[in-house]
Structure 1
Amino acid sequence: MKGNIAIIAALEGELKPFVHGSGPRNWKRIESGKGCSVWEYRHADGCWIAACAGMGEVRAAVAFVEVEKVAAVDAVCSVGWAGALDGAVAAESVSGVSLVVDTKTGERFRPADFQPAWPVLATTTHVADEREKKRLAASYGAGLVDMEAATIARIALGKSIPFYCFKAVSDDADAQLPDLNLFVAENGRLKMLPFLAHVAVRPGSWSGLMKLGRHSSAAAKNLAEALYGWLDESGSVRTSTGDYTEKRR
């Protein structure tokens, strides 16, 4: 497949190793709308466009709009951090998904390229805590949870654009974390100062947050490696033949 490939995440931290790391590409930062970050890599047959605009369905749609301002999209890949719903899904691992389920609407989306062994991804409207993770796993047979993939898939379907999805696991199924939903702003990003003030007086949450930080950083690096393995040397996508569920160091 040749052409312009969009790679859409929620947060800049998810894309940082991909667009700023030691990879073989020279990415250019593109001027974009408020609250959105966009990078472009031009190649002989088109370009890769990486973008993020915050967490949640509204912000995912914003990122898609910003990508289309750069170039007509021939294929789109939803990427970024996801929470594990199954104890067998390891933090820091990277996986393609076999199905995306929108828990708000009940819609189901099949990626253009998938393997049956890959986990089902449940897309929710909020950050899932440990109790919600158990419910999602039981209700949908899902192994992963995020907040954006279903929106990207729905837009892609409406535009007849091939949809792909790779997720990097930032937290285990039993991760003990504070309620992050209290601190998500309208722009889909964490309100950092109120959040830090909240956790500062709750030392019981420190260990879980430090583990989340370590896992998230490693997962983003592994995601970059997986994406560069998926995108071929000429800048187009190729059918994946490997299993991205294994940890990459």
Structure 2
Amino acid sequence: MSTKLAIIAALPREIASLVRGLKPHPAFTQRAVFLYEIPGAVVVAGGMGERRVTLALEAARTIAPIATVISVGLAGACTAELAPGTVAEACTIIDVRTGERFFGSEPSPHTLATSESIAGIAEKKRLSEAYNAAMVDMEAATLARLAHAHTLRFRAIKAVSDGHDFELPSLSLFADRDGHFRTGAFALHTALHPSQWSKAAQLGRESSKALKALDAALRTAIEQHG
């Protein structure tokens, strides 16, 4: 049996274009793990955080033999080097909690820091200064650790949703117990707080642009693997 890529995201919207028209595998949806099979890849959205992406990779490995794990999704920029709406691959991935460093299989000048929470302006600046991080996410280091443990190739391809000088503190309030974002609750909260309208609209525009670019990058990665 030929090997496949495991494309692991936190949120369903991060893989929506790649799996449009498909239904998730019913064996995993009860655990809020949304797994899809496409030619050359197993694509999973398992939720935010360490525990959820661990479940996502476990699910992918039960479906097909995996050769490469790609951590994908939205990330925040830690410097002005990366503009919102763009896609970047990281070669060095740092777990901020433990200090561990992992390395991707593709060359890149970028370092990605993995944090336990959504980073605001001050935290992005700290990560840039302490680790030379260009981006910050919440899952890549966990997936890199798991890939190393299972002797799998690893890549981290991230879509930059917010710049180094952007923050929307209310975002951290809307993750549910399965690590998924409560979009409806966030929309209601934002509607009731006019001071956040402009920033929420900006984040929406830039996230949409970034996810379109991410979809193109992932399709290229699948073609290269095949």
Q: What is the number of residues matched between the two proteins? A: 223
Distance 1:198 1:165 in 2: 32
Q: Which amino acid aligns with 2:65?
A: A
Q: Does 1:51 align with 2:44?
A: yes
Secondary structure of residue in 2 paired with 1:106: coil
Match of 1:243 in 2: none
Partner residue in 2 for 1:40: 37
Long gaps (5+) in structure 2: none
Residue 28 of structure 1: how far off its partner (Å): 6.2
The 8 Å contact of residues 14 and 220 in structure 1, kept in 2 or not, is answered as yes
**How far does the alpha carbon of each residue in 1:54-111 deviate from its partner, in whole angstroms, 9 at most, with x for none?**
1111111111111112112111111111001111211111111120000011110000
Match of 2:141 in 1: 150
Q: CA deviation at 1:192?
A: 3.7
| DSSP-derived class of the 2:160 partner | strand
1:91 corresponds to 2:84? yes
SS at 2:161 equivalent: strand
Q: Are 2:114 and 1:123 aligned? A: yes
Deviations 1:142-181, CA, capped at 9 Å, x for gaps: 0100000001100000011111111010111111313322
Contact (CA 8 Å) 1:98, 1:111: kept in 2 or not? yes
**Does residue 174 of the first structure (1) align with residue 165 of the second (2)?**
yes
Dislocated runs of 4+, deviation >6 Å: none
Gapped regions of structure 1 (runs ≥ 5): 22-26, 237-249
Aligned: 1:31 with 2:26: yes
**Which residue is 1:105 aligned to?**
98
Are the equivalent residues in 2 in contact too, given 1:176–1:205 (CA < 8 A)? no
For the 8 Å contact 2:3–2:64, the answer to whether it is kept is no
Comparing 32-41 with 87-96, greater Cα deviation is found at 32-41
Structure 1 residues 67, 6: CA separation in 2 closer, same or farther (over 3 Å shift)?
same
Distance 1:179 1:124 in 2: 17
Given that 1:18 and 1:221 are in contact with CA atoms closer than 8 Å, whether structure 2 keeps it comes out as: no
Rounded to whole Å, the distance in 1 between the matches of 2:97 and 2:211 is: 27
Pairwise CA distance, 1:139: 1.1
Question: What is the distance in 1 between the residues matched to 2:74 and 2:48?
Answer: 10
How many angstroms does 1:194 deviate by?
Answer: 4.0
Residue 150 of structure 2 is matched in structure 1 by: 159
Would you say the 8 A contact 1:127–1:181 is kept in 2?
yes
Q: Aligned-pair RMSD on alpha carbons? A: 1.7
Q: Is the 8 A contact 2:96 2:113 kept in 1?
A: yes
Q: Distance in 2 between matches of 1:37 and 1:231?
A: 19
How far 1:193 sits from its partner (Å)? 4.5
Percent identity reads 37
Retained in 1: the 8 A contact 2:41–2:222? no
Between structures 1 and 2, the one with greater helix share: 2
Q: Give the TM-score normalised by structure 1.
A: 0.84
